[in-house]
Structure 1
Amino acid sequence: MKKIKVGLQPIVSKINLPTVLKTTILPGDSIERLFIATQVGEIFYIGNGVIGTFLDIRSRIIKLGVSNGGYDERGLLGLAFHPEFYYNGLFYLHYSVAGTQGRGALPESFKPNPCDPVTLNLTWINRETQYDHIDTVEEWILQPNGQPQKRRTLLNLRRPFFNHNGVNSLNFSPETGKLILTTGDGGSGYDPFNLSQNDMEIAGKIIEIDVTKNTFIYNPPVVTRFNELSAPIQETLTVIAKGVRNIPGISFQRFYNQYIKYVGNVGQDLVESIFSFDHYKPLPVTRLVQASLMNSELDQEGFVNLGWRGWEGAFPTSIIRDCSENPALNEKTIAYYNEAVKTSVRRLQPLTSYFHQDPRPDKFEGSALTGVQPYMGNSIPDLKGSVVFTDFSQEVSHPPVRGTLAYTIARTDSKLNDFSVIETNYNFGSQSAFYVSLGTNLDQTRLYLGVYSSMNVTDLNQGTVFEIVP
């Protein structure tokens, strides 16, 4: 693939972790502004070189970075503006709620043992007491006086672990007009309870929410399964996909009279994967619940399955062990053989994958996918029509750490596609540069990159947002 070089033009610096980058036009305004949501709970907007605070919900966010050395995957996770935001002022938030810290679903870290059936069939028990935190999805409105106000809560979700909550997790579908919520598998590693493949679990799914249906339930109960929701809320939900490990949102690319959907699945130990699909058959939650009650199988032809936990991209999920005979090598053992077989036919093949270990000189060794966006602009001609993605940090043996920008080409034949690194000319000096988010404007002609110089949310004001330029 063609080598492409771009520049990075700083827009704003010295902010907290920029997890979501979106643009919209404020009611009564005439310019499209960039909105930056930070993991700690701030939302800024920028226009004509001026930065302002749109909303600050830091007091509503769970206390971050208390454990895990300051690293955290909770916080303000999603921001989406209603397609008619200019007229109705509606926008949506997904965040981890203050004061909901629990003890977690397991007493220690988890790793499956293919020789021990117990580790392959764990069950999340005592969910009301053994959980890590609660996430919420809320509808807000920008009032005529310019002050945002919460209107209602759409979902309250109990999460088993601190990680894999999704990021950039709210987006509106230009096809259906519905709000899309992307949830991670609940966390730990290897999805210990196999929540991602269980049709009744909210974790590990891509879900559509019909926000035009007012359920008149303004503080719904805290749940983990679809069948725990009241009937009016169930009727607002459809499920697009399952088999999600962790996902940096969903993006859409117009292709003649249809849209190609792109989602990335963050890998376990081997590979990061980007999937694309155009046609799909969503399953209404009411049908899923009915099938569960009747203990019957639903026809899932056309329903998207990314394959996790049996598959990590195009590979059966594996456990990596050091080779005692040769420390330079390692052994890969299939973690969930039976599940890999069961989902081998139904799963969606990735559009492209990149690896944590890659011997090819023109590639890179990644760690975690953090953004996927189509680019339809003309200012970088070689990228037009391609799919750009970001990785958190390259696997390097010496500092400073650098994230990676790369791209692939859309294809419709379901074959695995190649990718190429996008070279940048920006000098970060001796500071680390973790690539934490990727965003675009409304017509996908501009790309924005969020960078942080630390991997810890407790290290404040170390973020910069760039525009990717020729």
Structure 2
Amino acid sequence: MTSRLALIFILAIAAAGCDLVNVGYNQGACGSASSTTPTIQLQLLIPSGLAQPVYVTHAGDGSGRLFIVEQAGVIRIFKNGSLLATPFLDIRSRVLSGGEQGLLSVAFHPQYTSNGRFFVNYTATGVGVPYKSVIAEYNVSTTNRDVADLTERVLLEIPDRYSNHNGGLNLFGPDGYLYIGLGDEGGAGDPQNNGQNLGTLFGKVLRIDVNGALPYAIPSDNPFLGTAGARREIWAYGLRNPWRFSFDRCDGRLFLADVGQATWEEVDIIQKGGNYGWNIMEGPACYLSACTPTGLPPIAYYDHALGDCSITGGYVYRGTASPALTGWYLFADFCTGRLWSLRETSPNNWTMTQAAQTGLGISSFGEDQNGEVYIVDYNGGALYRVTAR
């Protein structure tokens, strides 16, 4: 594919049925995307003042608040049109921040309204190795719902020899399980060959049960429970740096954007037990030399010819404020600020179109409880709502 064709293309992928996780999702009532490419508009909500924001989400508690993660180790609240001065959580003393490291995401428990539990993903100084990725649980204060209790319960620590490719997203699925994205540990080309190794958590999407035995339980239908030597937490593998992913809140499909090495960025639909090719494949092509194609193909991809270099995954729009966006999957490139819309024209056939050139450092998309979509600008410290006409 040439760079000129990188803007708009159609991909056909093998018609293999996805093993979907969709408990609680409204299957059969999904609005299809219009054939007319939406004209994206960004509504500025916070013009500045955020310090290197990397994620935005909601708590599912009906409060209308947005929670914005700052890389250094702080979570801020946007409430009633204002950014609160007092942080919701400040764990800068525990977080190792810089480059691709830091406090990278927060996920609120599906029963957060009643139990106050939430889970963060951050990097810290390791023991015996330079670094570690930490998955930890906190609770909201019992006296002030805009402030968290600083008591930490660590669920999982992953020792790490490299500072990059941390993945970093915690996200609850519609099944109530916690999904965790972990990169291939780092180093160019996956030097430890972690992506294809089921004996390590690196280069994977994990799926764990935070409601069972401590520190966590393994869901009984995870795909590799009976595979000798495989980590039981693994849901999918063959990933380089799964920075951002999301569930379509209508049909339950899991869309994941995997950051490429030097040539390709890709969007995948994650299936139970799926292999997404890295480090044999990068995007649609062999990574280093001729190879036997391995793993499930991406549904969309683009190259680096126009300066793009790091994909930021987004959401299938299911809000109500911008009907022109319904059914479109939105994603962007961090390096150029280009924003794309992707729609399924027929089963397993996808059309990708550049919808906007924002000029922003889009580090993450996010949703509110109503399905409206937001972006955070890492470079400008700003928050925007995505709209369309």
Does the alignment pair 1:203 with 2:202? yes
SS in 1 for 2:375: strand
**TM-aligned CA deviation for residue 214 of structure 1:** 2.8
Cα offset, 1:356, TM superposition: 0.9
Report the counterpart of residue 234 of structure 2 in structure 1.
239
Partner of 2:131: 133
Contact 1:250/1:262 (<8 A) preserved: yes
- 2:55·2:363 contact (CA, 8 Å) conserved in 1? no
Matched, 1:406 2:340: yes
CA separation of 1:133 and 1:245: change in aligned 2, threshold 3 A: same
SS of residue matched to 1:208: strand
- 3-state DSSP of counterpart to 2:179: strand
2:316 matches 1:374? yes
Tell me the distance in 2 between the aligned counterparts of 1:449 and 1:419. Answer: 19
Q: How does the TM-score come out when normalised to structure 2?
A: 0.80
Amino acid in structure 2 at the alignment position of 1:351: I
Deviation of 1:61 (Å): 1.0
Q: Which residue of 2 aligns with 1:388?
A: 330
1:356 match: 304
Alpha carbons of structure 1 residues 411 and 170: separation in structure 2 relative to 1, 3 Å:
farther
Structure 1 residue 31: deviation in Å? 2.3
1:442 offset after TM fit, Å? Answer: 2.6
The offset of 1:433, in angstroms, is 2.9
Deviations 1:17-74 (CA, angstroms, capped at 9, x unpaired): 1111101255xxx522111001111101112112222111111111x34xxxxxx000
Residues 192-238 of structure 1, C-alpha deviations (whole Å, 9 max, x = no match): 11111100111001001100113269xxxxxxxx99xxxxxx7xx53
Amino acid aligned to 1:173: G
Pairing 1:31-430 to 2, within 5 Å after superposition: 31-52=63-84, 53-62=87-96, 64-65=97-98, 72-97=99-124, 99-100=125-126, 129=128, 131-146=129-144, 147-167=148-168, 169-174=169-174, 176-215=175-214, 238-255=233-250, 258-277=251-270, 280-281=271-272, 303-318=273-288, 334=289, 337=290, 340-341=291-292, 344-345=293-294, 347-357=295-305, 365-394=307-336, 403-410=337-344, 413-415=347-349, 417-423=350-356
CA contact (8 A) 1:374 1:386 kept: yes
* Corresponding residue for residue 442 of structure 1: 369
CA spacing shift, 1:43–1:214, aligned 2, 3 Å: same
**Considering only CA atoms, is the larger Rg found in Structure 1 or Structure 2?**
1
Give the 3-state SS of the residue equivalent to 2:132 in structure 1.
strand
Unmatched runs of 5 consecutive residues or more in structure 1: 66-71, 101-127, 218-225, 228-233, 282-302, 319-333, 358-363, 395-402, 427-431, 454-461
The 1:216/1:37 distance shift into structure 2, 3 A limit, reads closer
Aligned equivalents of 1:80, 1:140: Cα separation in 2: 10
Instruction: Give the AA of the match of 2:45.
Output: I
Q: Which amino acid aligns with 1:260?
A: R
Equivalent pair of 1:4/1:423 in contact (CA under 8 Å): no
Deviation at 1:310? 0.3
**CA shift in 2, pair 1:411/1:161, >3 Å:** farther
Kindly provide the CA deviation profile for residues 305-349 of structure 1, in whole angstroms up to 9, marking residues without a partner as x.
11100001111113xxxxxxxxxxxxxxx2xx4xx42xx25x111
370 and 216 in structure 1: CA distance in 2 versus 1, 3 angstrom threshold: closer
Distance in 2 (CA, whole Å) between partners of 1:412 and 1:75 is: 40
Does structure 1 retain, via aligned residues, the 8 Å contact 2:195–2:204?
Answer: yes
1:6 to partner: Cα distance: 2.2
2:189–2:261 CA contact under 8 A, matched in 1? yes
- Residue 157 (structure 1) shift: 0.8
Name the structure, 1 or 2, with higher relative contact order (CA <8 Å, separation 6+). Answer: 2
Assess if the C-alpha contact under 8 Å between 1:163 and 1:187 holds in 2.
yes
SS of structure 2 residue aligned to 1:199 = coil
Deviation for aligned residue 1:188: 1.3
> What is the root-mean-square deviation of aligned Cα atoms in Å?
2.3
Amino acid across the alignment from 2:52: L
The 1-side partners of 2:104 and 2:345 are apart by 30
Unaligned runs of 5+ in 2: 1-34, 217-223, 226-230
Q: The residue matched to 1:80 in structure 2 has which SS?
A: strand
Contact kept? 2:340, 2:352, Cα under 8 Å: yes
Q: Match for 1:8: what amino acid?
A: L
Q: Give per-residue Cα distances to partners, 1:84-130, cap 9 Å, x unaligned.
A: 00110000011112x43xxxxxxxxxxxxxxxxxxxxxxxxxxx74x
Q: TM-score, normalised by structure 1?
A: 0.67
> C-alpha distance in 1, partners of 2:269/2:344?
8
Rounded Cα–Cα distance in structure 2 between residues aligned with 1:274 and 1:133: 28
Amino acid at match of 1:368: S
The question of whether the paired residues in 2 share the 8 Å contact of 1:170 and 1:249 is answered with no
Q: Does 1:463 align with 2:389?
A: no
CA shift in 2, pair 1:79/1:269, >3 Å:
same
Seen in structure 2, the aligned counterparts of structure 1 residues 443 and 411 have a Cα distance that, compared at 3 Å, is: farther
Contact 1:80 1:92 in 2 (8 A): yes
* Aligned positions, number: 336
Contact 2:37 2:341 in 1 (8 A): no
Task: Give the Cα separation in 2 of the matches to 1:216 and 1:173.
Answer: 19
Quote the Cα distance in structure 1 between the aligned partners of 2:116 and 2:75: 15
- 1:133–1:412 distance in 2 versus 1, CA, 3 Å: farther
Q: Deviations over 1:242-278 (max 9, x none)?
A: 00100123211145xx42110111111111110114x
Q: Structure 1 residues 368, 141: CA separation in 2 closer, same or farther (over 3 Å shift)? A: same
**Mapped contact 2:345–2:351 kept (Cα < 8 A):** no
Counterpart code for 1:198: N
1:348 aligns to what SS in structure 2? coil
- Alpha-carbon contact 2:72-2:103 (below 8 Å) kept: yes
